[in-house]
């Protein structure tokens, strides 16, 4: 079938329940007959799903090269025990599975079972019906049912989380529940939402339950300047781990927040991105840099994107721009 040639196969056959599955095509067929396969994705229906037994089809088999596997067998729903695929792939580094296939696989303890079988895994993707989500390496929690489902799980190995969904979606209770027990070892968090419940209380939950957080990105949001200041002084405290922040169109970022980052000895930020911050122009950026100099603070990386009236090529020739760039140099290590 594959011989010794193919190393990457992505099979997308659609997930429509009314679609006729391709006769006889199941994931194990490719895994068994493609010995040099490294990357394999199977998205679609299979024939006779109630009779499919992957543990029988793959009995006494080991694939020595497969390191990236993604599965969404849509018409098996909760009947698929995907752990058998982990057992036969000792080199696996990335494993993706659709939420509809999780229940029978391991249910609420899936993360513990997956990592016990394959502790060397560095990416586990839990995805909805979108095949692009399953293949991309992260999941957008855009659906209330999806987050309600995930809010029952513990994820002790979760390190990086991206939350992005429709502004019309309402999932405050499930989102809070998720943060209360699923982010204990989180190191990187990106939140892209303008909902009213992306607020000071949620930042407090993050500070309480994600105590190992090293970087955060906030795009939009309804938190206040005071709530953001308290969060930064808690999480970026010298005895805590947060050192990298990225603020994109975050209305709560004002001169007081910048003053906390620039001058407070309780807030140690090594890398910062400010992008399109409301009411922040050249004057506010200059004051921020001056405050950093006065408090003898420096950063490893600093990116400032803000509005000023002149065209960029004209602005860089002015004395004001040259002085501004010199200040940036002073504030960088």
pLDDT of residue 99: 60
Q: What pLDDT sits at residue 332?
A: 85
Q: What is the pLDDT of residue 130?
A: 47
Average per-residue pLDDT in the chain?
A: 79
Does the pTM exceed 0.75?
no
Q: What is the mean pLDDT of residues 325-333?
A: 85
Model confidence pLDDT, tens digit, residues 136-153: 443 444 455 556 666 766
Check: CB of residue 154 under 8 Å from CB of residue 108: yes
Q: Which of 147, 207, 155, 142 is nearest to 173 (CA)?
A: 147
Please say if the pLDDT value at position 256 is more than 90. yes
For the stretch 42-60, pLDDT in tens is 888 887 777 777 767 777 8
Higher pLDDT, 111 or 265: 265
Q: How far apart are CA 279 and CA 254, in angstroms?
A: 8
Is residue 167 over pLDDT 60? Answer: no
Q: At a CB cut-off of 8 Å and minimum separation 6, what does 324 contact?
A: 282, 285, 286, 289
Measured between alpha carbons, how far is 108 from 99 in angstroms, rounded to an integer?
11
pLDDT of the residue at 150: 66
For residue range 193-221, list pLDDT tens digits in order.
777 788 999 999 999 999 999 999 998 88
Which candidate, 333, 313, 96, 296, places its Cα nearest to that of 321?
A: 313
Residue 171 pLDDT level (bands cut at 50, 70, 90): low
Distance of CA 277 to CAs 21, 160, 254, 299, Å?
50, 25, 8, 19
Mean pLDDT comparison of 102-106, 115-119, 133-137, 212-216, highest-scoring range: 212-216
Question: Per-residue pLDDT averaged across 105-130, rounded?
Answer: 61
Higher pLDDT, 283 or 195: 283
Predicted local distance difference test score (pLDDT) of residue 267: 92
Average pLDDT over residues 86-94: 85
* CA 60 from centre of chain: 36
Does residue 329 surpass a pLDDT of 80?
yes
- Mean pLDDT lowest among 94-103, 246-255, 263-272, 290-299: 94-103
Nearest to 89, CA basis, from 41, 52, 37, 140: 37
More confident site: 267 or 78: 267
Task: List, for residues 11-36, the tens digit of each pLDDT value.
Answer: 877 555 445 555 568 888 888 888 89
């Amino acid at each position: 079938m594959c011989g010794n040639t193919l190393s990457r196969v992505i099979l997308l056959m659609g997930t429509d329940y009314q679609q006729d599955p391709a006769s006889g095509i199941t994931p194990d067929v490719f895994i068994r007959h493609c010995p040099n396969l490294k990357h394999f994705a199977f998205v679609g229906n299979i024939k006779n799903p109630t009779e499919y037994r992957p543990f029988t089809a793959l009995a006494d088999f080991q694939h020595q090269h497969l390191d990236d596997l993604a599965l969404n067998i849509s018409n098996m729903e909760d009947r698929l025990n995907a752990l058998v695929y982990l057992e036969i792939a000792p080199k696996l580094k990335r494993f993706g599975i659709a939420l509809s296939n999780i229940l029978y696989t391991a249910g609420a303890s899936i993360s513990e079972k997956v990592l016990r079988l394959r502790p060397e895994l560095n990416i586990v993707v839990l995805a909805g019906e979108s095949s692009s989500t399953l293949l991309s390496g992260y999941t957008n929690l855009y659906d209330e049912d999806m987050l309600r489902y995930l809010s029952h799980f513990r994820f002790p190995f979760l390190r990086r989380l991206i939350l992005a969904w429709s502004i019309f979606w309402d999932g405050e209770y499930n989102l809070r529940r998720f943060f209360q027990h699923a982010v204990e070892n989180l190191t990187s968090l990106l939140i892209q939402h303008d909902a009213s419940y992306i607020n000071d209380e949620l930042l407090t939950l993050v500070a309480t339950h994600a105590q190992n957080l090293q970087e955060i990105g906030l795009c939009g949001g309804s938190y206040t300047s005071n709530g953001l200041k308290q969060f930064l002084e808690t999480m970026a405290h010298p005895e805590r781990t947060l050192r990298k922040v990225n603020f994109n169109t975050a209305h709560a970022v004002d001169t007081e927040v910048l003053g906390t980052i620039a001058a407070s000895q309780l807030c140690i930020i090594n890398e910062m991105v400010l992008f399109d911050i409301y009411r922040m122009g050249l004057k506010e950026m200059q004051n921020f840099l001056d405050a950093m100099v006065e408090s003898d603070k420096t950063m490893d990386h600093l990116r400032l994107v803000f509005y000023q009236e002149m065209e960029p090529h004209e602005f860089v020739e002015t004395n004001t721009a040259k002085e501004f760039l010199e200040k940036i140099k002073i504030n960088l290590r």
